[in-house]
Amino acid sequence: MWPALGTFVSVHCVANDTGSAERAVASAVSCFEATQHLMHPTSAPDLIALRSASPGQSIRVRRWIWDVLVLAARVNDVSEGRFDPCLPDIDGCMRDVELPEPGVVVVRKPVALDFGGIAKGFAVDRAVERMVAAGCSSGTVNAGGDVRVFGPQDASLWVRTSRGARCIVVRDAACAVSDPMARDRPSEHRGYYSRVPPGELANTNAAPAVVVAPTAAIADALTKCVLLCRQDHALLNRTLRHFGATAIELGDQVGAKKSPAGCAGLIP
């Protein structure tokens, strides 16, 4: 376990030998270090360049930034603009970002991108890829609310939110939690809520969002869609189905206070 991306990250893996496991863990750690450097909203070189770009200017970005933008654009489109990693500090939004070819971004307006609602999930996925490539047969990467498990066995995950806690079971999948009402929510976190009308924003506080999806980046992004689309059930259901995801409504039925042995903690 180590601190990264404003939370604590833990890794567990099964490999044929200790050396392979150690190399897998080291490679997983490097994914979070790289994500921190590439995606910090105020210091990442590519995000600074996009923020200061002139309309129509082509900006060449690093592969991981391109990959996140492709996924963000896809979620933005399917969710009819609800998911938008562009902060309102600048007029540009996700639909002002064009991706004409791999590694190239053209903005119709300058954009203030903040990947705070997808970067952890993206790093988790890259870490899992590195661990599989290193020969691990199963494992878990848990980044404070974004967790992905791989391998042939079922895994029990303990989901904790401001509403309570519950243990869920997944296999070769990811789960993410977004809880705007969490008391330990980072003060600098801005989420994707600021472009929503104030009346609709109030509705997002009704309950935390928990999503199970094929990858952690998708699960991470879709928790924001759950928060922002609860009043539009048809749109939310279409968005979840498109990505092969499921939203778990914890509601008031969760009451356990402590994680049972063997369950990985999901901290919102």
pLDDT in tens, 136-155: 999 999 888 789 999 988 88
Bridge partners (DSSP) of residue 106 are 58, 98
Element (H, E) at 13: strand 7-14
Q: How many domains is the chain partitioned into structurally?
A: 1
Instruction: Check: pTM over 0.75? Answer yes or no.
Output: yes
- Which has more confidence, 251 or 215? 215
What Å distances lie between residue 219 and 104, 141, 190, 223, CA to CA?
A: 26, 14, 18, 6
Write down the mean pLDDT value for the chain. Answer: 82
User: Residue 129: its pLDDT value, please?
Assistant: 94
Least confident of 68-82, 147-161, 208-222, 249-263: 249-263
In a domain, 31, yes or no: no
In a domain, 39, yes or no: no
In a domain, 105, yes or no: no
Please give the Cα distance from 89 to 82 (Å, whole number): 17
In a domain, 61, yes or no: no
In a domain, 251, yes or no: yes
Length reported for the chain: 268
Does residue 167 register a pLDDT over 50? yes
In a domain, 88, yes or no: no
Tokens of 114: 């903040």
Residue span of the structural domain in which 173 resides: 144-266
Bridge partners (DSSP) of residue 178 are 209
In a domain, 26, yes or no: no
Q: DSSP class of residue 234?
A: H
